[in-house]
Amino acid sequence: MFSSMYAGGIAGMKAYPVRVEVDISRGLPGFELVGSLGKEVREGKERVQIALKNAGFSLPVARITVNLSPADIQKEGTGYDLAIAAGLLACMGTIDPGSLAETAFLGELALDGEVRRVNGVLPVALAMREAGIRNLVVPAENAAEGESVSGIRVTGVENMKEFLTYLQAGPEERSRLFSERREGARQGGGAGGQEKRGTPDFSDVYGQESARRAAEIAAAGFHHLLLAGPPGAGKTMIASRMAGILPPLTDGERMEVASIYSIAGKLEERKAGSFTRPFVAPHHTVSPQGLAGGGRLPRPGMLSLAHRGILFLDEMAEFSSETLEVLRQPMEDKTVRIVRSRGSWTYPADFMLVGAMNPCPCGYYPDRNRCGCSDTQIRRYLSRISGPILDRIDIVAETAAVQLKDLRGGEKGESSAAVRKRVEEARQRQKLRFGNGPYRFNGELSGRDAERYCALGTGERRFLERVFEAGEMSLRAYHKVLKLARTIADLDGEETIGTRHLSEAVYYNGGRKQFWKGE
């Protein structure tokens, strides 16, 4: 007897249909799985065999061969158990395989027949829909995640009893199965619900007008930002509110981000269809592998979890040099590529870097009345952020110590909603400017294209020439200033860049000179 079922495989960010072919024939009794399989997949034959036995089905004494096709792609994980079980039941005559031609299965079986959750249901559902498969059976815990994908019917099962009920039902009856559970999940805030929670607001920040303005410019133009200042000045407070001034994710971005979290096993089912901009803040002890991703079976790291959002490095100078250097390639290519002996995995990593740091070990430089660090200690501390990393940061903003009068008599700043409105308008201007070209934001412009998209008038060009000739900036800094000025003009609703925009851009680009004494 022969039968075939569909399952879903994942290679990096790409999910694909896997055909599970099962053959039971005469010969030396045995049960073998083939098709470039990892350890977890090969162990699946024991899980499936015992789960079927405990459900009342004993495998025949025969030669059993299961092939997972395409055989030239390495299969990993435990999600093939359900498809193998369905194929065996079809070969044994328990179910009609013809009625399952447009159905795929994804899930792990426990020895007692429980169907356990797996990672990657969301990208698999998207791949099945693209392949023309109309039905997907997954663990009940993953059902809401799969149901966030339109155009495919997703059914969650909790155990072998429910799984068999689904397999033995007719096509029309299957469409009605578990409808009560699905409806309850939706009413309880399932994949389409919006999570309600308190969000940190910019209005909570007192003073720090310069740093708040820098955060707004960074958000509008997708510029990487570094906040430097003494302890307690509000660097972390400002950074933690930046996700609230970014525009909401588009539908495509939401599915893209949710797919990354699904593959990483960090997607809570209630958030599958209501993802907000990620805000990822790893501790400074994180390893390079934790930041970039890795492991025997590579999974997305912190850089990919921050995709389409913010990667916040608090106490940035406390991160190891090896960890910080991991940022260099992803900040340029917007992807992370992990190479292993068995293949390579590529994950997206299009994030906005926001760093916060003290300017010296004690935190009070350049205030020599309070700072007791030697010049050597300060240079060693600042050198932990290498030149190549600093070159990729457009804005270095100083946060001054907060005065008591600012807390007692100071007025609250603008709300996140008010700032976000200006950011959205500025991004819309960039969208119209760049069209379908290679750029989406001013912060992505290369040196040559910066001059093309940031044209200056005669007076503005003379202003920059005077600044350049005075030794205030290098050629690299010149292009940074152009990009920043373009974003500031977009925030002001101006089509042309004025001298005041350039002046403000020079100020925010010059922050690094105060601490690093150069470009």
Q: Would you state the pLDDT for residue 194?
A: 41
**121 — phi, psi (to 5°)?**
-65, -40
Higher pLDDT, 49 or 410: 49
Encoding tokens for residue 290? 């934790």
- Is 70 exceeded by the pLDDT of residue 463? yes
Candidates 203, 202, 199, 206; CA nearest to 215 is: 202
Q: Would you state the pLDDT for residue 177?
A: 64
The CATH number of domain 202-416+426-434, selected from 1.10.10.10, 3.40.50.300, 3.90.1150.10, 3.20.20.70: 3.40.50.300
Q: What is the pLDDT of residues 261-306, one digit of tens each?
A: 999 988 874 455 556 789 999 999 999 999 999 877 788 999 999 9
For residues 412 and 204, the answer to whether their CB atoms sit within 8 Å is yes
Domain boundaries, the chain: 2-187, 202-416+426-434, 445-519
Helix, coil or strand: residue 510: coil
Give the other-Cβ count within 10 Å of 63's Cβ: 15
- What ranges in 30-178 are assigned the alpha helix state H? 39-42, 44-54, 81-91, 121-130, 143-147, 160-168, 171-176
Please give the Cα distance from 129 to 407 (Å, whole number): 55
Q: Would you state the pLDDT for residue 437?
A: 87
Least confident of 31-40, 161-170, 194-203, 210-219: 194-203
- pLDDT bin (cut points 50, 70, 90) of residue 179 is low
Encoding tokens for residue 339? 């190479």
**339 — phi, psi (to 5°)?**
-110, 130
- Is 60 exceeded by the pLDDT of residue 408? no
Q: Would you state the pLDDT for residue 474?
A: 76
Tell me which DSSP letter residue 287 carries. -
Tell me which DSSP letter residue 410 carries. P
How far, in Å, are 6, 135, 181 from residue 143 at the CA level?
18, 12, 10
The structural architecture, per CATH, of the domain 2-187 is 2-Layer Sandwich (3.30)
Q: Would you state the pLDDT for residue 269?
A: 44
User: What dihedral do alpha carbons 274, 278, 281, 286 form, nearest 10°?
Assistant: 100
Mean pLDDT of 11-23: 94
- pLDDT bin (cut points 50, 70, 90) of residue 515 is confident
Angle at the Cα of 147 from the Cα atoms of 146 and 150, rounded to 5 degrees:
110
Please give the Cα distance from 118 to 12 (Å, whole number): 16
Helix, coil or strand: residue 392: coil
For residues 157 and 168, the answer to whether their CB atoms sit within 8 Å is no
- Is 90 exceeded by the pLDDT of residue 446? no
For residues 51 and 112, the answer to whether their CB atoms sit within 8 Å is yes
Name 234's Cβ contacts closer than 8 Å, sequence gap at least 6. Answer: 205, 206, 207, 208, 211, 399, 402
Place of tokens 């851009």: 505
- Is 90 exceeded by the pLDDT of residue 453? yes
- Is 60 exceeded by the pLDDT of residue 464? yes
Q: Would you state the pLDDT for residue 193?
A: 40
Q: What is the pLDDT of residues 314-340, one digit of tens each?
A: 999 999 999 999 999 999 999 999 887
Cis peptide bond prior to 366, omega within 30° of 0: yes
Q: Would you state the pLDDT for residue 273?
A: 52
Q: What is the pLDDT of residues 468-490, one digit of tens each?
A: 888 667 778 889 999 999 999 99
Q: Would you state the pLDDT for residue 188?
A: 44
The pTM of the full predicted model, rounded to 2 decimals, is 0.88
Tell me which DSSP letter residue 164 carries. H
E strands present in 310-421:
310-314, 335-340, 343-348, 352-357, 395-398
Q: What is the pLDDT of residues 339-359, one digit of tens each?
A: 877 778 899 999 999 999 999
- Is 60 exceeded by the pLDDT of residue 399? yes
- Mean pLDDT taken over the chain: 88
How far, in Å, are 75, 492, 493, 502 from residue 486 at the CA level?
48, 10, 10, 8
Please give the Cα distance from 255 to 151 (Å, whole number): 14
Mean pLDDT of 192-211: 71
For residues 177 and 166, the answer to whether their CB atoms sit within 8 Å is yes
Query: What is the DSSP secondary-structure string of 456-476?
Result: --HHHHHHHHHHHHTTS--HH
- pLDDT bin (cut points 50, 70, 90) of residue 120 is very high
* Percent of residues, the chain, with pLDDT higher than 90: 67
**32 — phi, psi (to 5°)?**
-130, 140
